[in-house]
Chains A and B, each alone.
Chain A
Amino acid sequence: MAEINDQDILDLFQVASTRERAFSLLVKKYQERLYWHIRRLVVHHEDTNDVLQNMLIKVWRNLENFRQDAGLYTWLYRIATNESLTYLDQQKKKSTYSISDHESGLANSIKAEKGFDANKLEWKLQLAIQSLPEKQRAVFCLRYYDEMPYEKMSHVLETSEGSLKASYHHAAKKVEEYIRNN
């Protein structure tokens, strides 16, 4: 079955009788990509589910007023990224421990994941990603996993392409250093 066009989804959403169908199509089309993007940032499945559902409810409420020049894909990623970063920020504020404890808590969450193997490179990479500052983590994941062009990423993170390139370069260096030393 061919993937439905974004414009078709938006057109269906404008009509009250097909609004829910349009929304279902949108969720089906983007759910996995958005889920994995959020999961790489917040780690836990339950937290990811909360963030994903909240962001999709925001999408439902705002899709009618969505400015089509932005591109649906980048708009969805922007909401997902902002929701994830806000969630992490809230967790940090709630935490009675220090920020470094919170970050090591995320690393511990990875280690507690089912099937964790410290010797496998894919797990080492997840730990390396969690050692990055949050914004840099988002930049690395968008570029490395989603292979998003810098031009689109600049719409998602509202940052200049130059800054994003520099940020990705720093992140890649830190990931390399982490994997080499661990």
Chain B
Amino acid sequence: MQQKINIEQELNDLQLKVPIVSMPEFSVPVGYFDNLEMSVLDRIHSEDFIAQLPKNMPFDVPQGYFDQLTNELNTSFSLEQLPKNTPYQVPIGYFNDLDTQILSKIAQTKPALKPLKVSSRRFAPLSMAASILFFIVSGFFLINQQSSPSVEQQLAKISDDEINLYIQAHQQEFETDLVSAEALDDSQVDIPTLEKDIIENQLNTLTKEELSSYIL
């Protein structure tokens, strides 16, 4: 209490108008001071124990790893850092006469074929259609020729014996046809007389009744 009065006096002497606030009444856990030294000693022992533990790591590191690490970090990828020179080699003097080489090559080669002009292109569909038509027509004739061979070709396939047998079997018909053909072919035949004979023959075959009914 005496100290408090002295402090107030001191402040008054200094002419400072600081309000004097009394300290609040803090409480301390029961028995705190009884065990304080034990708690501190426990902590000291614990820290000593940790301190005694080995600090070296049991893991292995590849040999020379840390030496390379700096290099690797320095050469970390960046497109800008990559070399821009192409490392291939070119034969000495290659570029000296390239233009002359090409010009002589151009002189040796014939001029390229010019493409069809627009006017020619206009007729292209017509000529194409004509070509297609030509192929269709010629194909049609070719197929027909192949499908109907000539009489000579057909006869060539039949043997002589078969032909002789056929003629013998149809001899009478052949003879009649040949006679008729000969008569018709003869230029000296009197056609009106022949017609008269045919009519008379036909009239002779008719009966009297048929004739009278026809006339009536």
10 pairs, CB–CB < 8 Å, chain A vs chain B: A27-B102, A28-B99, A39-B88, A45-B91, A57-B105, A61-B112, A115-B89, A122-B87, A123-B87, A125-B83
Q: B101 interface residue, CB < 8 Å from A? A: yes
- Inter-subunit contact A35/B83 (CB<8 Å): no
Cβ–Cβ contact B90 & A45, under 8 A: yes
Interface residues of B (CB under 8 A from A): 77, 79, 82-91, 94-95, 98-103, 105-106, 109, 112
State in angstroms the CA–CA spacing of A43 and B85 once bound together: 14
Asked if A145 and B84 sit within 8 Å, CB to CB, the answer is yes
Q: Are A145 and B86 in contact (CB under 8 A)?
A: yes
**What is the interface size of chain A, counting residues whose CB is below 8 A from a CB of the partner?**
37
Nearest B residue to A44 via CB reads: B88
Q: Is A4 an interface residue (CB 8 A)?
A: no
Beyond A31-B99, A115-B87, 14 extra complex contacts between A and B, CB < 8 Å: A27-B99, A31-B95, A39-B86, A57-B102, A57-B109, A113-B87, A113-B88, A114-B89, A115-B89, A126-B86, A145-B86, A172-B79, A175-B79, A176-B77
Q: CA separation between A39 and B99, bound complex, in Å?
A: 18
A143: nearest residue on chain B (CB-CB)? B79
Say whether A40 faces chain B, with CB atoms less than 8 Å apart.
Answer: yes
Q: Which of A27, A52, A113 contacts B89 (CB 8 A)?
A: A113
Contact status A57-B106, CB under 8 Å: yes
Main secondary structure of the interface of A (DSSP, over half): helix
CA A148 to CA B104, docked complex, whole Å:
32
Residues of A within 8 A of B100 (CB): 24
Q: Which residues of A contact B86 (CB under 8 A)?
A: 36, 39-40, 122, 126, 145
What 0/1 pattern do residues 143 to 160 of A give for CB contact below 8 A with B?
A: 011000000000000000
Q: How near does chain A come to B108, taking the closest CB pair, in angstroms? A: 11
Q: Max chain A CB contacts within 10 Å: which of B77, B88, B100, B106?
A: B88
| Cβ-neighbour of B82 out of A32, A45, A125 (below 8 A) | A125
Judging by beta carbons under 8 Å apart, are B102 and A60 in contact? yes
A40-B91 Cα distance, complex, nearest whole Å: 16
Q: Is A99 an interface residue (CB 8 A)?
A: no
B residues near A180, Cβ cutoff 8 Å: 77
A116 CB to nearest chain B CB (Å): 8
A23 to B103, CA, bound (A): 8
**What is the CA–CA distance of A53 and B98 in the complex, to the nearest angstrom?**
8
Task: Tell whether A56 is near chain B: CB-to-CB under 8 Å.
Answer: yes
**Alpha-carbon separation in the docked complex, A31 to B96 (Å):** 10
Chain B nearest CB: distance from A150 CB in Å?
16
Interfacial chain A residues near B89, Cβ < 8 Å:
45, 113-115
